[in-house]
Amino acid sequence: MSLFITAIIILIPLLFGTPIFVVISGLALYLFFFAQIDLSAIIIEMHRMATTSMLVAIPLFTFAGYLVSESGAPKRLIRLSNAILGWLPGGLSIIALITCAIFTALTGATGLTIIAIGGILLPAMIEGKYPESLSLGLLTTSGTLGLLFPPSLPLIIYAVVAKVRIDQLFIAGILPGTLLVLMLSLFSIHRSVRADVPKTQFRLGEVFMALRESLWELPLPFILLGGIYTGYFAVSEASAITVVYIIMVEVVIYRDVKWRELPEIMKKSMVLVGVILIILGAAMGLTNYLIDAEIPMKILDFIRAHIENRFFFLIVLNLFLLAVGCTMGIFSSLVVVIPLITPIAAVYGIHPVHLGIIFLTNLEIGASIPPLGINLFISSIRFERPVLELYLASLPFIVILLIGLTLITYLPWISLVLIR
């Protein structure tokens, strides 16, 4: 079977808008057929994946995230952050970074963060005399900033596909994610001071009022991470606890969401879940073929013939993953690329959890890299700005994120210190 025919099978359907799961499934069937392997192997793999206990966390965390997005929680979070941090130079930019990171961690959907949170924060930043380029660049690149924070869906999917412990991946992402937020915050403060952005006055009364307003929502991250970190409950149990807690808070206590609205929210969230699970099932079937055909080993032999040490391998890996993050969707990137790189990275002595953090950091950045980063096009539609303007506005933030990626890549203790 020629490489040319395989490329046609992949590229032509994609050019005509065929869903990625159809292309992956078709490619898997084509490869299994010509390798004379029973096609039932794909169905068996789908069934094996469907019976994985940790998979239940995906629909539950997704539903919880959508429920939060439909409530008044984002506005309460912004008010609380503004009350605590608004007096700092560039305080509103820090608020934007923190809010976007939390929201993306909960929803796992990049576009949803830019559309929902960006629509609230951009007018506020413009009104607060922040430079428009700063505001646009910050909100565009922050759309994926929360992928490293639990309970991010990409973290769960990486753990499922790479067969690593979800609880370790959840904990490992905290310091790298915090590092990226901190670096972008310092840069935003610097830009705000140079632009002479006015500061808001600190008012203790407003802090107490905002705290009281958010009183029921603040404990959730501590309950979630504390329970997982101490081993009190598993990730799948944590997802169920999260759903019950958010329903009690948003529906019963705050009454932001009506009981009759829950089925519609559930329906919208399950559309995303359906897409994820179908892509996962199709890609895992394809992964079986790649492993049986020893494709990762052939790639490894080629790489080892040209790259002798770990330092240069990590450079090549990051360049490759940035290109993947720029051109492919997050979920399809995870299920297609992970099986190829995990055995190769293991040979170079890279810890599988550290590899996961490197992988997701690259996807975060790749989504904002010109010319194909999805964040740029979503922001262009949401903020009604030319894509070229968003390219230029995002570049300084991308440079900061690339510096952060370098630190995360070559200082593995940042990812691993909390799990050892």
Read off the pLDDT of residues 86-107 as tens digits, 9 standing for 90 and up.
777 888 888 888 888 888 887 7
- Which two three-digit tokens encode residue 244? 């019950």
- Residue range 110-126: mean pLDDT, rounded: 75
* Residue 48 pLDDT: 67
pLDDT level of residue 192 (50, 70, 90 thresholds): confident
Cis check for the bond before 19: say yes or no (omega within 30 of 0).
no
- Cβ(359)–Cβ(366) below 8 Å: no
Q: Which of 114-123, 231-240, 246-255, 290-299 has the lowest mean pLDDT?
A: 290-299
Instruction: Tell me the backbone φ, ψ of residue 333, rounded to 5 degrees.
Output: -60, -45
Report pLDDT digits (tens) over 241-272. Answer: 888 998 998 999 988 889 999 999 888 888 77
Q: What ranges in 39-162 are assigned the alpha helix state H?
A: 40-50, 57-70, 73-85, 91-107, 110-127, 132-141, 153-162
- Residue range 31-38: mean pLDDT, rounded: 71
Q: Which residues of 153-170 are buried (b: 16+ CB within 10 A; e: fewer)?
A: bbbbbbbbbbebebbbbb
pLDDT at position 138 over 80: yes
Which sequence spans correspond to the domains of the chain? 37-419
What pTM did the predictor assign? 0.77
CA–CA gap between residue 29 and residue 138 (Å, rounded): 43
* Residue 341 pLDDT: 87
- Residue range 19-41: mean pLDDT, rounded: 70
